[in-house]
Structure 1
Amino acid sequence: MIIGMGNDLTNMDRIANSLERWGEKFEKRCFTDIERAKADKRPFTRVGTFAKRWAAKEAFAKAIGTGFSRGVFHKDIGVVNKPSGAPTLYLTGGAADRLAEMVPEGHEAAIHLTLTDDHPWAQAFVIIEALPKGSR
């Protein structure tokens, strides 16, 4: 059963402005080390890489219904890739806690994430599904 859904559309120019204005301070506050390393490996699409990840964080915050409150911070939500290459989310801190609160007893969460961009826009969709334990 679907227990959460969110989407976000982010303007890459806005992210570029934040990176230019705040630099490493912005990066360290909002992105995980894995996300920063991935962006650094993509010098020609660095801003787009950050913008898609920003959109994913915003979409997840909408999907859990709290936004960035109740201890949920941008850096608690990290975009990682499955062995297949498909993106998913790795959660820590308040983001992981909030997700755990949402999942019914006897179930586990499955997070579905899709990312896309077309300058100047980056977009993410998140669907959170509760599956009976052991059904995956």
Structure 2
Amino acid sequence: MIVGIGSDLCDMRRIEAVLERHGDRFKGRIFTSNEIKKAEGRYGQTRIGTYAKRWAAKEACAKALGTGFNDQVFYHDIEVINLPSGQPSLKLTNGALERLRALGKDGYKPNLLLTMTDEHPYAFAQVMIELLPNKE
């Protein structure tokens, strides 16, 4: 059963302007070290798109959690990762993980679904939170 859904559309030009103006300060406030490493390993618009998609994913996840960036949910608590298959996913920590766990019900475990895409000048992400039967 779906217990949360969120989406975000981000203008890549806005992220590019903030990166030019605030650079490492902005990166360090919003992105994890792994996300920065992934983006910085790319060039030009691909680099900007990588940051913009991750920004959109964090915003979409906060919406799906039902909190936005309130109630102890911060940008660093939401990290975009890739599964071994390459599929994007999310790793939640601290307040975001606590909120995710609170959405669960007895006999069910929460599962996060993420999709991201970009087409200059926009980046888009959608997050769904579903509860799956606990098979333990």
2:86 is paired with a residue whose SS is coil
Task: Map 1:1-136 to 2 at 5 A.
Answer: 1-44=1-44, 45-134=46-135
Deviation at 1:75, TM superposition (A): 1.0
Equivalent residue of 1:112, what SS?
A: strand
Structure 2 distance, partners of 1:55, 1:103, is 24
Identity %: 53
**Equivalent residues, number:** 135
RMSD of the alignment, in Å?
Answer: 1.0
Note the C-alpha offset of 1:134: 2.0
CA displacement, residues 48-76 of structure 1 (integer Å, 9 cap, x when unaligned): 10000000000001101110000101111
Distance (Å, rounded) in 2 between the aligned partners of 1:9 and 1:42: 21
Distance 2:135 2:19 in 1: 42
User: Structure 1, residues 70-113: CA drift from partner, whole Å, max 9, x if none?
Assistant: 01011110000011100000011111111111111221111110
AA of the residue aligned to 1:35? E
Q: Distance in 2 between matches of 1:108 and 1:17?
A: 40
Structure 2 unmatched runs, 5+:
none
